[in-house]
Amino acid sequence: MSFNETDVQNALKNLIDPNTKKDFVSGKSVKNIKISGTDVSLDILLGYPAKSVWDEIRAMVESHLKTALPGAGKISANVASKVVSHAVQRGVQLVEGVKNIIAVASGKGGVGKSTTAVNLALALAAEGARVGVLDADIYGPSQPTMLGISGQPKSVDGKSLEPMMNHGLQAMSIGFMIDGEDTPMVWRGPMVTQALDQLLHQTHWDNLDYLVVDLPPGTGDIQLTLAQKVPVTGAVIVTTPQDIALMDARKGLKMFEKVGIKIVGIVENMSTHICSKCGHEEHIFGAGGGEKMCSDYNVEFLGSLPLDIRIREQADSGNPTVAADPEGNIAKVYKQIARRIAVRVADMAQDHSAAFPKIVVQNT
């Protein structure tokens, strides 16, 4: 029985990508279909990093086509990922060397925002993406400690700073510039926003798919200025199930909406407490608050993380959970949440500014 490229396309219209919940054809993932006699080869190009499931998707596509195309000979699918730039707020220029910026924010402090940010960055990197972390929490920079990085960044060209590296991540923080962990940043708002602007634009980011920005907690003047100056693809809100934390998280969500930044979704941290002695799981901070907030505002619930002593111990030691125990259950949850974030970003409108010619006006 003979078949052509259209038959292959039609067959793949019935196969759903388990991560995007769309078929591979409408998701524009099917590329380079080649038919040689009864043999079929094709590429599946995913718009999100998914190294850990490439083999699974390849096997799924090959098995589906063998069934859907009677008489087919050898079927080979090559699966890869390619992350592109997506649109940001109007009037804000993209940062050189960075395709997408994901802001990780919280309405209040103490909800584990920085720990969540660094583990999500590590999870995206584990899935094959090029990832950086910008510690925008100027008053309380914690990423140097969490990433186990000491020392100061160097400049090769005398104009920009080279990002610090560890665990495969590029990182920049005001914490690298100050002497001692106990030195306070006694700065007014304008100095803070200028410092962040310099850290963002004067770091030589090297071809990042994602830059995860760990924002300060709250919704004050500083956060508003940062949200208006930093080209953010989407924001992730971190909360705990407590009513007070959720109340502040709602304010953070509304702030991003007001400045035209899309909400990727909400992560509920410290969702349950797992006893280190007996393993008993208990909702000590309440249950279901994050999911209710998502349904109230029509945003995605990205997932929930337990209150587990290992997460704190590993972050404090400079070896966060996804790096310390990559195959563990908690790392798997971080990876699932990271993949959901990447899929949601891939669904957003693409940025086409690079396709337009730059107009330069000069006197002759």
Predicted confidence (pLDDT) per residue in 234-284, tens digit: 999 998 887 778 888 888 888 888 888 899 999 998 877 777 778 777 776
- The verdict on pTM exceeding 0.85 is yes
Band (286; pLDDT cuts 50, 70, 90) = low
Neighbours of 302 (CB within 10 A): 23
- Is residue 138 scored above 90 in pLDDT? no
Unique residue bearing structure tokens 């850990």: 52
H or E segment to which residue 80 belongs: strand 75-81
| pLDDT on residue 221 | 67
- Domain 98-347 sits in CATH at 3.40.50.300
Q: What is the mean pLDDT of residues 187-215?
A: 89
For domain 5-81, the CATH superfamily is: Fe-S cluster assembly (FSCA) (3.30.300.130)
**How far, in Å, CA of 318 to CA of 143, rounded?**
9
Question: Which one is predicted more confidently, 192 or 78?
Answer: 78
Provide the mean pLDDT of the chain: 87
Tally the residues of the chain: 364
Predicted confidence (pLDDT) per residue in 119-134, tens digit: 999 999 999 999 999 9
Nearest to 261 by CA among 355, 343, 345, 191: 345
For residue 129, which amino acid is it? A
Band (143; pLDDT cuts 50, 70, 90) = very high
**Domains 5-81 and 98-347 equal at CATH topology level:** no
- Domain range list for the chain: 5-81, 98-347
Q: Can you state the angle between helices 113-126 and 309-316, rounded to 10 degrees?
A: 80
For residue 219, which amino acid is it? T
